[in-house]
């Protein structure tokens, strides 16, 4: 029996979501298909990947090890399918600004790919807060930026959103809310809340809380995503954060569950930004073409089918 991408994808979905039924819904397939794929993997690897219980599917030590390898497999396939093939050999220096969240959870993988596809482009990366990024773009100190586009405010800054990352409720494993079929912000308001502040996350959060006519019961404010992750996993409170920064395990090895909310919660939008009067250099064109091909071109292709 040979390993298939179907098996790997079904395994990853189950590992991240923690329930076969929910993984099947996410994948838009039957539960039996997920169950069969996992059994095939376990037979092929001769190990048990999950401990099955009434609460869901928990990874074994072997399962956690294989999950890391599965991520590598899926990323390699994605690279092979989506890597742009440049029509020309761009060169030059690109001064690229980015915020904390973008640098920490999005850019490193793409910087590596950009270096591979455009070896003659030197990217000088600058980590800044949103206001400093806008000012740097206006003054010409930065050529382009990768930012949370919904936070941009200056009318002379042009942005192009690459993708939206849904914000979901983070809970510790076995939290009572995990048993609910529908969760609103009113339900969350009754729980101690861990509020992230970095990258204007607090301002973004308060907008959807106020829109729902609710107020979070803030227990801790922190600029550290890892602190939020650990506190949620340890049962100190719940949080609402984007899928971009979600990982199913805390640093202590405890599981973090995620659930969608019934109220409207604005997703995190990640994209490119530049001064509207800026003349694009070959290096800027290469960066924009890379991200267009990696994120927008596949969607446009699917839309045409």
**pLDDT tens digit sequence for 144-160:** 999 999 999 999 999 99
If asked whether residues 224 and 176 sit together in one domain, one would say yes
Q: What pLDDT is attached to residue 300?
A: 41
Do 59 and 48 touch, CB atoms closer than 8 A? no
Residue 301 has pLDDT above 70, yes or no: no
Same domain, 192 and 246: yes
Calculate the alpha carbon distances from 123 to 13, 119, 256 in Å. Answer: 34, 10, 35
- What confidence category does residue 38 fall into, taking pLDDT thresholds of 50, 70 and 90? very high
Of the pLDDT bands very low, low, confident and very high (cuts 50, 70, 90), residue 82 is low
The residue out of 41, 57, 80 marking a domain boundary is 80
Task: Give 205-244 pLDDT, tens digit per residue.
Answer: 999 999 999 999 999 999 999 999 999 999 999 999 998 9
Q: Which residues pair with 171 in a beta bridge?
A: 257
Q: Which residue has the higher pLDDT, 219 or 24?
A: 219
Query: Is residue 158 located within the same domain as residue 27?
Result: no
Do 224 and 281 belong together in one domain?
no
> Are 253 and 179 in a shared domain?
yes
Please tell me the total count of domains within the chain. 3
Give 99-152 as a DSSP string: -HHHHHHTHHHHHHHHHHH-TTEEEEEEE--HHHHHHHHHHTS-SEEEEEGGG-
> Domain limits at 16?
3-80
**Assigned token pair, 176:** 């009572």
Comparing 132 with 113, which gets the higher pLDDT? Answer: 132
- DSSP β-bridge partners for residue 51: 58
pLDDT of residue 304: 34
* pLDDT band for position 1 (cuts 50, 70, 90): low
CA–CA gap between residue 40 and residue 47 (Å, rounded): 11
Q: How confident is the model at residue 267 (pLDDT cuts 50, 70, 90)?
A: very high
Angle at 51 between CA 237 and CA 238, to 5 degrees: 10
Residue 272 vs residue 72, higher pLDDT: 272
* CATH code where residue 171 lies: 3.40.190.10
Mean pLDDT confidence for 18-47: 89
Same domain, 155 and 24: no
């Amino acid at each position: 029996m040979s390993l298939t991408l179907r098996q790997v994808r079904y395994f990853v979905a189950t590992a991240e979501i923690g329930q076969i039924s929910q993984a099947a819904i996410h994948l838009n397939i039957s539960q039996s298909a997920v169950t069969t794929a996992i059994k095939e993997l376990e037979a092929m690897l001769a190990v048990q990947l999950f401990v099955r219980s009434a609460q869901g599917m928990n990874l074994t030590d072997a399962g956690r090890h294989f999950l890391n390898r599965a991520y590598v497999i899926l990323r390699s396939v994605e690279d092979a399918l989506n890597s742009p093939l440049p029509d020309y050999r761009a060169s030059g220096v690109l001064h690229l600004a980015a915020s904390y969240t973008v640098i920490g959870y999005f850019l490193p993988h793409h910087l590596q790919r950009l270096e591979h596809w455009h070896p003659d482009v030197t990217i000088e990366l600058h980590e800044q807060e949103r206001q400093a990024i806008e000012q740097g773009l206006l003054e010409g100190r930065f050529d382009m930026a990768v930012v949370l586009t919904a936070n941009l405010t200056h009318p002379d800054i042009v942005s192009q959103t690459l993708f939206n990352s849904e914000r979901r409720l983070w809970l510790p494993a076995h939290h009572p809310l995990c048993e609910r079929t529908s969760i609103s912000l009113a339900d969350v308001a009754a729980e101690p809340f861990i509020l992230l502040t970095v990258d204007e996350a607090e301002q973004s959060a308060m907008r959807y809380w106020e829109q729902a006519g609710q107020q979070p019961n803030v227990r801790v404010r922190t600029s550290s995503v890892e602190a939020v992750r650990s506190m949620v996993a340890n049962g100190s409170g719940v949080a609402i954060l984007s899928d971009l920064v979600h990982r199913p395990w805390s640093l202590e090895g405890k599981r973090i569950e995620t659930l969608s909310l019934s109220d409207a919660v604005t997703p995190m939008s990640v994209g490119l930004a530049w001064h509207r009067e800026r003349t694009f250099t070959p290096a800027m064109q290469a960066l924009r073409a890379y991200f267009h091909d990696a994120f927008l071109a596949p969607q446009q292709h699917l839309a045409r089918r």
